[in-house]
Structure 1
């Protein structure tokens, strides 16, 4: 009981990374580049995260599903792209990546879901697909895991490692988002969306070279150096010559 209580009140922000915004709530576009079997999982995860009072994810259902797009899965400036593909026997179920400007604000993000594992009997079910989709999108907005021990009592959140996992955020995830986004910034690093619950209206008011006005780096590849592994989670960092920082959160499959 004590261990559950301590986990429930612990901070689980991901390094204080967050999207810059000038309003109390904002609309964040999620470009859905998944194929049809994943569409319900993406829509459900977005709906679950939209119980937040500080952000609304707006699904763009027109994302390309070409193999090239899904293999690269580059989020556009100020947006997140989510993709699926048979990425191979990499050892990971899902990865979430974010890029930061020189002020440490998220400027773009992506999530990849690895069908090489999700097409196997162990992972090809609603619970695993929904939980990993939910968790990776949580990383894209600045959340880390609440707990990384598969063998303790479940915290009933997708941000907890359990087998079987839980499919949706819990109240503490939303409390943590309120803590992360409890201040305003001087510019928006997100591009906005066409709907949802308020926000900056979709325009980009970042200074040149900052936030949503930062150019993409199409030649950048690789995760960079590992910052360490805890259980089935590992984070990597890569810094481009212009100072842009890229962080990748990896969810390893069980046994890898």
Structure 2
């Protein structure tokens, strides 16, 4: 009987220590679009690289969470966050995403949305006169966008603008270069980063009009236990953005603070 009590007591201590260790090693599993450099992409070693990956690694460490990035096609990123399979994502906040995720109070990255068009596209002259999304709706053009892009659904498709979908941001650039669609409307830094690696980049013009300024937020699934750590994560993001490391990380990926 004494031996049985000893074993039970030892088991209780072991479980208590395990729970304590688990609390210290709480996991932050972030799902990232797999073809959207420089923000995130699946690299040649099977890992996840990119600006928002590097930034969130710092944020997770500051908040005392174990960081686990995973790369997925954009529609699956959103599905995994919605179902709670992933703890969060780093994307623009949209009404649809607000239904299943809560955003950090401080944006992780921000940037202008501009238009990219081929020099030889017959619609170029019309696009040069566009000054707003409403103007774009009157321009009779086809926008190339990532499948599942919530910002495109809210701002482009809702206005009745024709849209062709590609797999990842890299896919949108390839479609534009191939003449499949008229214009990309996306974050300037992303498209310029991808164009740098394309042999036909000189055939594409970035128009100067800023169509919108977009904030990308860390968004935590309402089904994730990490939701209770969101204030701590928001504070860590704010602290990181005030540090020299933030600006240095942006420069690494061709962006400005």
TM-score, structure 1 length as denominator? Answer: 0.28
TM-score, structure 2 length as denominator? Answer: 0.28
**Structure with the largest fraction of helix:** 2
Rg larger in structure:
2
